[in-house]
Amino acid sequence: MKYLFMCVFALLACASVATWNMLPTTQFKEPTIYWVTDPNPARVEQIAIFQRWLKKDPSRPEMRVLVDAANSRKEKKVIQGVSGVGGDTMDMAGGTDMRYFNAIGLIAPVTETAHKLGYDVSTTWEPIRPLIAQDGEQYLYPCNVAVRMLWVDYNQFDELNVERPPHRWDWDTFERIGREYVQKANEGKSHQDRFMLHSIDTETLYRSLGLACFDETLSFCQLEDPRYIKALEKKYQWMYDDHITPTAAEQSGFDVEAGYGGPQIFLFGQGNYAMFIMGRYSLIRLRQIQQARLDAGKPMMKLDVIEPPHGGFPTTRCNTRALGIYAGGKNIELAKTFQSYLASEDYNMQIVRDADALPPNPKYVNTLAWDKPLPLLPTQTEIIFPYEEDEKNLLSNFRIDFYEKLDKIDRESEWSLQKDLPRPPKPAKMSDEDYQKALAEFDALYMASMPVYKSEWGMHDRFTDLMENIALPGDITPYCVPETVSMEIKNAEDEYINNRATAKDAAKRAADRINAEIQRTLEENPDIKPQYEKARADQKKIDELKAAGKKIPASLIQNPFYLRYYKVQGMLEEEE
């Protein structure tokens, strides 16, 4: 029996050693850092590009990056972080997550290194900067940047002989066009199944009236304001009186699976909605819909992006998925190198091509690939060219080489796919004859998608225009948990939309509960009371200046919304 146990122990020991050697981190001689992110297939390409980017500068350290998609949920990152085993780098929402993770000590400041390595806050979009830095310290850098815009299919308006929505429009124009559209689109039907817009958030409405959720110093919720009440009533009107947007019951009545981007993109594609609100990343799904239409011999949608309707002040919301560095990690300096990669041309051009929102560094929207996109590699490439496992690096390297050349192609010249761009390498076990057939199939698929991408030419400047001129981040007060704010607003709005409260009562409920939460936070965290009291003193000065009709010093304002709003209104005193 003793020898039996010894044999079993020896076998288990051998198995343990074998298992250890099979772990990803033991396959490389270089140090390994983990990137806690979503399981998007694009991460594979982004890491492959990173490995090549590292080698372009001999001063950069050698390392490997592995994706940890199993722990990407916020609660998992927190549990692992406070337990001392967090991932080296973590994706998070800029602003809200940054403040929370910073408050519990889970993310490291990177201000000094960001300046040194060229990825400080000045290298990203101005409206996004408050979402990656706090109290003068930078903590994050964007992975991508999203701005909410209205996607429109002009064909739906043209077919009904309804005026096309303009790029900028006020509420009256929205209502006039919307009423005509839904009347003509549903004429003769027993029930309405076509709407001009799938939905619109109340925040966009009340902000366009010059109101933010919090005041100028972010110390008081002001949703009891008549402008918020007006926004609530307008949303209700468009839903129940004008039927321009569907009710929740009408939305759930559509029998459709969500898919990437949600059901609204599918319903937009089949004509139930003439418009929907989402970021540039919608193109990932819209390109698939356009290609399916083309392959079926149907006309493509006539796509464009326009601003949300406004009540006097055109505005929309922007946000970011950003990368932070785990403060308890053992590879902080290596993680900073990876973070700096997000500002590079190599990474940004991948975002530009994939249409995964806007690139974090705005410099790269001034490129041919942005203005006039060309097709990505066919999704069937790996099937057409069946590489063995030990040949996968051939495909990865080909993909990077292909796109680097594609980005520089003169769109106006008579370029050739066969002569001007790299060709897919031949798999070792594929015959020459089969390889030539595979190349022909690859070329046919690639060129078949050209009309889809060319239909976007001239449209992408609209994304830049919205981001630079009307986009603003959401209000984030340091005196209340953002999730609580969102929950209280949603609960109050649901009460009103479902006829359980008046708009005035719903507005008062939201404001009262959020302000009560601020007071509770102050009681539980007395250390922030001096900061709050200073904010209230500054707010009193601001209120006095407004009452006197005087300009407001920028140094008194903490809310990014009011910095932009007062500047546009000529009410801001900008200081050097």
Task: Walk along the chain (576 residues) and give the pLDDT tens digit of each residue.
Answer: 444 444 444 454 344 334 434 444 445 578 999 999 999 889 999 999 999 999 999 999 999 999 999 999 999 999 999 999 999 999 999 988 999 999 899 999 999 999 999 999 999 999 999 999 998 999 999 999 999 999 999 999 999 999 999 999 999 999 999 999 999 999 999 999 999 999 999 999 999 999 999 999 999 999 999 999 999 999 999 999 999 999 999 988 886 765 666 789 999 999 999 999 999 999 999 999 999 999 999 999 999 999 999 999 999 999 999 999 999 999 999 999 999 999 999 999 999 999 999 999 999 999 999 999 999 999 999 999 999 998 888 999 999 999 999 999 999 899 999 999 999 999 999 999 999 999 999 999 999 999 999 999 999 999 999 999 999 999 999 999 888 999 999 999 999 999 999 999 999 999 999 999 999 999 999 999 999 999 999 999 999 999 999 999 999 999 999 999 999 999 999 876
The residue type at 278: M
Sign, CA dihedral 531-534-538-544, equals positive
For 261, the token pair is: 């981007």
For 138, the token pair is: 């930078």
**Residue 307 CB neighbours (<10 A):** 23
Q: CA angle, 279 as apex, 270 and 66 as ends, to 5°?
A: 110
User: Tell me, what's the pLDDT at 18?
Assistant: 41
**Residue 120 CB neighbours (<10 A):** 20
For 379, the token pair is: 């999704």
Task: Report d(CA 140, CA 114) in Å as an integer.
Answer: 10
**What backbone torsions phi and psi does residue 306 show, to the nearest 5 degrees?**
-135, 170
User: Tell me, what's the pLDDT at 4?
Assistant: 47
- 335 CB contacts (<8 Å, ≥6 apart)? 33, 88, 89, 325, 326, 329
3-state secondary structure of 481: coil
Task: Report d(CA 540, CA 26) in Å as an integer.
Answer: 60
- H or E element: which one contains 35? strand 32-36
The residue type at 227: R
User: Tell me, what's the pLDDT at 576?
Assistant: 64
CB 147 within 8 A of CB 135: no
- H or E element: which one contains 89? strand 89-93
Task: Report d(CA 508, CA 145) in Å as an integer.
Answer: 33
User: Tell me, what's the pLDDT at 547?
Assistant: 95
Closest CA relative to residue 327, chosen from 117, 132, 86: 86
User: Tell me, what's the pLDDT at 22?
Assistant: 45
Task: Report d(CA 340, CA 346) in Å as an integer.
Answer: 11
User: Tell me, what's the pLDDT at 146?
Assistant: 96
Question: Which neighbouring-strand residues pair with 573?
Answer: 553
Q: How far is CA 275 from CA 151, 196, 200, 206, 245, in A?
A: 5, 6, 10, 20, 10
- Can you list the domains of the chain with their CATH numbers? 24-147+319-370 (3.40.190.10), 386-447 (no CATH), 479-573 (no CATH)
- 338 CB contacts (<8 Å, ≥6 apart)? 33, 35, 50, 63, 65, 88, 89, 323
Closest CA relative to residue 263, chosen from 298, 289, 242: 289
Cα pseudo-dihedral 13, 14, 15, 19, rounded to 10: 100
